[in-house]
Structure 1
Amino acid sequence: MPRPTARVLALLEILQGGGTHTALELARRLDVDERTVRRYAEHLLDLDVPVESVRGRYGGYRLAPGFRMPPLMLTDEEALAVLLGLAAGRRAGLATTSREAAEAAAAKIRRVLPKALAARLDALFATTDFTASERETTTPETSVMLRLAEAAGQRRPAVIAYFDRGGRRSERTVHPYGIVAHSGRWYVTGPDSASGELRTFRLDRITQVRLAQGTFTVPDGFRPADVVRATLAGTPWRHQVAIAVRGTADEVHTRLPRGIATIEPDAGHGADWVLVRLRAQRLDWLPGVLAELGLPFLVHEPAELRDVISAWAHRVAGCATATTPQEATAATETPLRWAR
């Protein structure tokens, strides 16, 4: 979109917010001179947008009362980007609002699109399927997310009311270094006044946020997403798993599900090995993940994981060599002791 056109639309957006705006104020917000503001207002009049010029000391520009937006001025590509973003974000677990709110927003956009474009988009969504199932989400309060985003953007401390996973309520002051979306949940990470340490909090467990006085500085090179992944990988579970893998950290990272493990050098086996550490409540899902790596590995702990992998391999081998349904059924029904 040409820059002057973008500024004309920006002027319309400002005026839609209500009230009367002086030419000087509009010029500053649009980064133009007052003469250009008058020209932009004339462009809107040419488009049948009722811009009123108010004279006097408190004069300026405003929209006529009762004015409603014409059909949404989006190109085909822009409309598709907005609606597809709503759908894809919800399916990926990145939605920050309820399903009802997302569907209502999409419906409002469709209603103001030109009929031909709306029909094509409806056809696209009616005939589109997804290979990945929709991820379950936990939706934070909109006010919580927006207030934390304000605090993070302004580098101001935030006082939060928080419920931990045991249901205990506490109030603490956090320096919100960043907000992170991960596996269907939203998190904020930063130093916590209660412990003085770097902490990660789930946004859906925060009930209230208010900004506090003061400012803070985010350390150079700080990556909130890396901190959240490391924190979640270190959450206490029943099994502490350590596996040496022959490969680089980048190779292993790309072949493991995101966020389930931490990876560090494994000097004990040589420069071409890394040590993968993770926590798990159950072990029976790990053999398939390790097989997907396609890389040599050694199980350090727990010892029972070796039995789980052997049992899994036995079942898979039995199905691979079976030639009848009865043999395949017998292979999978063989009693096995799974570590849980």
Structure 2
Amino acid sequence: MYDPSMRILTVLELLQARESVTGAELARRLEVSPRTVQRYVTRLQDLGIPVEGRRGVGGAYRLKPGFRLPPLMFTGEEALALALGLRALKQLGLHTLTPAAEGASAKLTRSLPAPLREDMHALEAAVQLDASPWVVSTDAALLATLLRAVRGAQVVEFAYTSLTGRASRRRANVYRVMHLDGRWYAVGLCQLRQELRSFRLDRVRDLAVLDETFTPPATFDALALARASLPARPRHDISVWLACPPEALQGRLTTWHTDITAEAGGTRVRCQREELEWFASFLLALPYPVRVDSPPALLDTLRVMAERGRTLLAAQATG
């Protein structure tokens, strides 16, 4: 078990985590007697920590309402997890939180003992996290507002722009918020469609939290819903080479069932798709040279589309 100083700190952590804790529970958790718990509480009070106690049977301890201390004791693994998490925020598209993350990182470093502080400096110098070009930037304030609505089971209203550019006003009972394929989504019941829908947060504007509330389902798996709506087994394995850097494809191509790597001064795209026409249209819209390596059916699709184009142009010329 812990030494006495660690037990005192554990009492403080337990008091910060709960509204109140009985002396009996503290004694059981710390494997000490109730009288020893009283000594620990007295020691905290001597250090200026406002611990309030209620005597008698069922007596409990609590911190003075509104008082909180930042967590000052971290293991090496905890400190590493926090530091890496703060640096990885950009990977989730939350670039607007960068100043807050830098401030939190500085506070974390200052709170650590010298050996762990040196580990954090080593992490800063040695670890590089590449900001993926496929991650879509998301407004952190909008995300925070939406999370509060989910917590309060409150209906939200917002302006939404679909993938095709169509604008509409929506009301939704949002059950979950998820991050998938480099994007943030709100998932729940769309009141306009009366169906479960997912909304990309980078397409949401003018979000308002209404006083209207709803009863969320007891269990809801947003990721399972998203996976179920996507093709389970795409039929065509595609491999193409593009005369452009991978970054040039940002926002143009989904990363679902897609592998994008730099190759021979350009980009190799390997992916799986059910409909070749959509992918062929994507290739034709690119302002870069393209080489199709597989499948042969993709070349056939491009030939058909080229013939359609020639027919259209011929009709236009004779008309």
Q: Into which bin does the TM-score normalised by the smaller protein fall?
A: 0.5 to 0.7
Alpha-carbon contact 1:187-1:228 (below 8 Å) kept = no
Residue 15 of structure 2 aligns with which residue?
12
Residue 43 of structure 1 aligns with which residue?
40
Spell out the pairing of 1:1-340 with structure 2 (5 A cutoff): 8-14=11-17, 40=37, 42-43=39-40, 45-46=42-43, 48=47, 50-54=49-53, 61-63=61-63, 69=69, 72-90=72-90, 92-93=91-92, 95=94, 98-130=97-129, 133=132, 135-140=135-140, 141-151=142-152, 156=153, 158-165=154-161, 168=167, 170-174=169-173, 176-204=174-202, 205=204, 207-210=207-210, 212-217=212-217, 223-228=221-226, 244-245=236-237, 258-259=255-256, 276-277=274-275, 279=278, 282-283=282-283, 298-299=297-298, 302-304=301-303
Q: Give the Cα–Cα distance (whole angstroms) in 2 for the partners of residues 101 and 217 of structure 1.
A: 34
Q: Give the Cα–Cα distance (whole angstroms) in 2 for the partners of residues 49 and 297 of structure 1.
A: 76
Tell me the amino acid that sits aligned with residue 159 of structure 1. V
Shift of 1:209: 2.3
Alignment coverage as a number of residue pairs:
257
Q: Give the Cα–Cα distance (whole angstroms) in 2 for the partners of residues 73 and 13 of structure 1.
A: 14
Q: Give the Cα–Cα distance (whole angstroms) in 2 for the partners of residues 83 and 305 of structure 1.
A: 54
Shift of 1:46: 4.4
Q: Which moved more, 1:129-138 or 1:180-189?
A: 129-138
SS at match of 1:122: helix
Residue 315 of structure 1 aligns with which residue?
none
Shift of 1:117: 1.2
Greater percentage in strand: 2
Shift of 1:49: 6.4
Q: Give the Cα–Cα distance (whole angstroms) in 1 for the partners of residues 217 and 27 of structure 2.
A: 30
Distance 1:87 1:14, change over 3 A: same
TM superposition score normalised by structure 1: 0.55
SS at match of 1:50: coil
SS at match of 2:217: coil
Distance 1:60 1:8, change over 3 A: closer
Alpha-carbon contact 2:52-2:62 (below 8 Å) kept = yes
Distance 1:76 1:283, change over 3 A: same
Distance 1:197 1:288, change over 3 A: farther
Identity within the alignment, %: 30
